[in-house]
Amino acid sequence: MSTIWVVLIAIAALIAGVALGFFIARKYMMNYLKKNPPINEQMLRTLMMQMGQKPSQKKINQMMRAMNNQVDK
């Protein structure tokens, strides 16, 4: 009977560890991406010029705001 309890406790600890690790890693990545965004205004301007669009500051600000809103969700 005691081996069943040991197995159940081990499985519960494993599930709890996986869940806790997932949420810690998610929080870490969200903070990392907020501090070091994968794209900045200069990269966005270059990308738009490569696509043949003339980037205005208003359009760049609008796209950056949209990306920041996606990260904040």
The Cα-based distances of 21 to 26, 50, 57, 68, 73 in angstroms read 8, 40, 41, 26, 21
Q: Do 17 and 45 belong to one domain? A: no
**Report field, pTM of the whole predicted structure over 0.75:** no
Q: With 80 as the cut, is the pLDDT of residue 45 above it?
A: yes
- In this prediction, residues 3-7 reach a mean pLDDT of 94
Residues in the chain: 73
**Domain count within the chain:** 2
Q: Are residues 47 and 30 in the same domain?
A: no
- Host domain of residue 58: 39-73
Q: Do 52 and 28 lie in a common domain?
A: no
Residues 28 and 5 in one domain: yes
Q: What does the pLDDT average to over 27-43?
A: 88
Q: Give me the residue label for tokens 């969700």.
A: 73
Tell whether 28 and 44 lie within a shared domain. Answer: no
**Mean pLDDT over each residue of the chain, to the nearest integer:** 90
Flag whether pLDDT at 73 surpasses 70: no
Supply the pLDDT for residue 35.
87
Residues 56 and 68 both lie in one domain: yes
CA distance 51 to 43: 12
